[in-house]
Amino acid sequence: MTFRTHMIASLSLLVGAVAACSNPTEPAADAPEAAEETKTLTLYSSRHYDSDKALFAMFEEQTGVNLDVRESKADQLLETMKAESDQSPADIIIAADAGSLWRFQDAGLTQAISSEALNNAVPANYRQADGHWYGMARRLRGIAYDPARWSAEELATWDTLSADDKAGEICVRSSSNIYNLSLMGELIHRYGSDAAQSWATAIVGNMARNPQGGDTDQIRAIAAGECSIAIVNHYYWVRLGASATEADRNVAASTSFLVPEFSEGSGSHVNITGAAIAKTADDVALAEEFLTFLLTETGQTYLTTETKELPLLDSSALPEGVENVPDFVASDVNLETYGQNQAEAQRLFDLAGWN
């Protein structure tokens, strides 16, 4: 027997002797209570905003729950979770675009939940039917344009971009971008594959340059005279207008933005930033509590003030600058459609030569 073992054994005998002389039904009055274990939620988020960090800190303060936030691009998070498999620590996935959320679902990385609170808060077309993911904020894919060259009436529907008078006028990013794939997903749903491919082929023929850069780059290209029309999400245009940089504000001021319909009276393409509960989440009730928190007035404000997205809740105030986006009527198409048509969308883009 080593010295350490001997000491432990001796101490055990002493403790046993003391316990035998004590009343076993009356614990010592000064015995410390066992510390309650701090709960942790691990968030895999493709967002990277200071306002998100402030919102998460607020949730921690209110609930005592620790949030372990891991940020990366959605595709990188997806591959990480695939590699981690059942050992992934992820409890919640936050991603921009229903098409991205669908990819996590399709890979078997999310779980269906039945939540009365979330179902009541989130309209049916902004959530997955079985509860695999829920919208938390809305985003519009629309058209930035040079108002000296075009009127809003000339760009009122998506099919106007395929007209011959738009030749050499359009700037847009790569077809593999999830925003374009989701737009094409709805075009397929509304027009059918043949007509959607014809539209994409016409857009390629009307491009001012090969697809390149992000949405902000397309808007700047209009101001630089490289094109007069760009397919972009609304918040990129709003952010330029709210920028601390005068050059950015001038870019926004030299352009206009509209939200086209698919056909007159059909409604406009709307997407989401959303969240899902990971398949590996242990405490589903706690994860649901966090998602519900994002749908409070406070949650909606912090999710959209910096990003310039639209709140999911109609009762929430719009972020500053978003009032400059023209009125629109949202399409009632369920956003699952974007994911379900995603592979076909890429196939049609490829056939059209939209790289």
The predicted structure's pLDDT at residue 21 = 38
CATH topology match: 40-138+272-319 vs 139-268+339-352: yes
> Which two structure tokens, joined as six digits, stand for 117?
């609170």
Rounded average pLDDT over 248-263: 97
Q: Please tell me the distance from the alpha carbon of residue 224 to that of residue 243, in angstroms, as a whole number.
A: 18
pLDDT digits (tens, 9 = 90+) for 135-155: 999 999 999 999 999 999 999
pLDDT digits (tens, 9 = 90+) for 289-330: 999 999 999 999 999 999 999 999 999 999 999 999 999 999
- 113 or 15, higher pLDDT: 113
Going through the chain in order, the beta strands assigned E by DSSP cover: 40-45, 66-71, 92-96, 134-145, 170-171, 229-233, 256-258, 270-277, 310-311
Class of 40-138+272-319 per CATH? alpha beta
Q: Is the dihedral of CA 137, 142, 146, 149 positive or negative?
A: negative
CATH topology of domain 139-268+339-352: D-Maltodextrin-Binding Protein; domain 2 (3.40.190)
> Taking the model in full, what pTM does it have?
0.89
Instruction: Return the closest-CA partner of residue 196 out of 99, 97, 335, 341.
Output: 341
As a whole number, the mean pLDDT across the chain is: 92
Query: In terms of C-beta density within 10 A (0-12 exposed, 13-18 middle, 19 or more buried), how is residue 156 classed?
Result: middle
The predicted structure's pLDDT at residue 23 = 42
Rounded average pLDDT over 68-84: 98
Instruction: Return the closest-CA partner of residue 141 out of 102, 95, 188, 97.
Output: 97
Domain boundaries, the chain: 40-138+272-319, 139-268+339-352
